[in-house]
Structure 1
Amino acid sequence: MGRGGRTKDREDGPERKCVVTGEVQPKYGLIRFVVGPDAQIVPDILGKLPGRGIYVAADHAALIKAAGKAGKGAFARAAKMPVTVPENLLEEVETQIARRVVELISLARKSGDAVAGYEKVKDWLSKEVAEILIQAVDGSGRGKSKLSTPHYGSYIGWLTAEELGAAFGRQTVIHSALASGGLTQRVVEEAQRLKGVRLKSGAGASGKEQKAT
């Protein structure tokens, strides 16, 4: 895994084509949609809903196009039938992915692979236990700057303090860290999808990206 939450390429991973951009890429970089019983386009974040999948890149601009007039045509062409595209499609996709990231971090916490709080995170970083540094986008920039991304690790900085708090059963959390574990890769992949959906042009949520040390 690299800086900014990016994962290493998976040459053996399944690939699909984005119906908006035409780009072929691994499935974990795309959002799957299906046509519901009422011919409405439905986001399938977990990739488990029945039906033929329609894929759009996990990218804000691509999803805006998918939800717009031209996107309706792309969805209809992919589905080979007239479809309805909800007006709040982008918001619903963002909400579902954010919820998924929170759930995965919560599972990592329960398995002992995640901690929250400045001192605990600092301790994990100093002992090189932490592989991923997660900090709330709405946290104090001065406080966040005191902690650095693990060497060869990743940084996630586009969850809110409330969202991160939900993963730890608290009202808010600013600093968190993940150790190397079975869920870590999945957290990074889903967080990367959230970044693409949530942030225009993939810009850093805090206006800057932490440097690896």
Structure 2
Amino acid sequence: MIRFVRGPDGAVVPDLRGKLPGRGAWVSARREAVETAIRKNVFSRAFKGPSPAPADLPDRIGEALRAELRQAIAMANKAGAVVAGFGKVESAIGADPGVAAVIHAREASPDGRRKIAAALMRRHAGAISGIPVIDDLSEDELDMALGRDHVIHAALVAGAGAAGCLLRWRRLRSFEGAAVATEEPDPACDGGIERAPR
């Protein structure tokens, strides 16, 4: 659920952290539910008075959730729970404690994705479906979160630092109505890694 409050001007404001003062109205944390609430004027009824909701409210919420994910990745990176770069991701997959999730920039090539999936398959075999794949952010967004240039592949190292990232990622995916992705290995891939792909 997402809590909404009335701002000082009477307009509807999302309260993603549930800490803003005032009476709250709750809507299911899905884009389509927020769109329906706007269309059916649910907020004015909930707040017992005119409560205009901007038409782009779902987009604002989606962007705020993306910003929270970027911030969580940045914090995990500062805690030493993120590795970036194809070779480092591959090494982290094979080392202990392993990875809690793989991160691909949206621009990542199918070849790079396939080779990382093959490394996961070698490590986890049938349990590969338990490794989430975060691919909701662009290269620029990952660069910003990690404070470096040209990040295409990264991984959350298993441990306490990964939990907050995964929570925020699942919240974003749920809002957008998207499935929680896991790596699907390509049966045609032999698992060899000849070069560091983009």
Q: How does the TM-score come out when normalised to structure 1?
A: 0.73
Task: Select the structure of larger CA radius of gyration.
Answer: 2
After superposition, the C-alpha distances for 1:42-69 in whole angstroms (9 at most, x for unaligned) are 11222221123322223232222233x2
Alignment correspondent of 2:57? 89
- Change beyond 3 A, Cα 1:203–1:154: closer
Give distance in 2, aligned partners of 1:54 and 1:172: 41
Give distance in 1, aligned partners of 2:105 and 2:25: 32
Identify, as 1 or 2, the structure richer in helix. 2
Give distance in 2, aligned partners of 1:41 and 1:48: 15
Contact 1:75 1:83 in 2 (8 A): yes
Contact 1:137 1:161 in 2 (8 A): yes
% identical equivalent positions = 33
Q: Check if 1:125 corresponds to 2:106.
A: no
Between stretches 149-158 and 58-67, larger displacement belongs to 149-158
In structure 1, runs of 5+ residues without a counterpart are 1-29
Q: Secondary structure at the match of 2:68?
A: helix
After superposition, the C-alpha distances for 1:100-150 in whole angstroms (9 at most, x for unaligned) are 111111011011111111111111111142111111222212211111356
Please point out which of 172, 181, 197 is paired with 1:194: 172
Give distance in 2, aligned partners of 1:172 and 1:100: 21
- Change beyond 3 A, Cα 1:101–1:35: same
Superposition pairs of residues 34-45 of structure 1, within 5 angstroms: 34-45=5-16
Alignment correspondent of 1:139? 108
Give distance in 1, aligned partners of 2:150 and 2:17: 26
Letter in 1 for 2:166: V
> How much has 1:203 moved relative to structure 2?
5.2
Give distance in 2, aligned partners of 1:179 and 1:209: 16
RMSD: 2.3
Alignment correspondent of 1:162? 140
Q: Secondary structure at the match of 1:42?
A: strand
> How much has 1:173 moved relative to structure 2?
1.8
Q: Check if 1:60 corresponds to 2:38.
A: no
In structure 2, runs of 5+ residues without a counterpart are 186-198
Between stretches 118-127 and 56-65, larger displacement belongs to 56-65
Give distance in 2, aligned partners of 1:140 and 1:86: 37
Alignment correspondent of 1:178? 156
Alignment correspondent of 1:108? 76
Q: Secondary structure at the match of 2:83?
A: strand
Q: Secondary structure at the match of 2:167?
A: helix
- Report how many residues are paired: 176
Letter in 1 for 2:63: T
> How much has 1:192 moved relative to structure 2?
1.5
Alignment correspondent of 2:184? 211
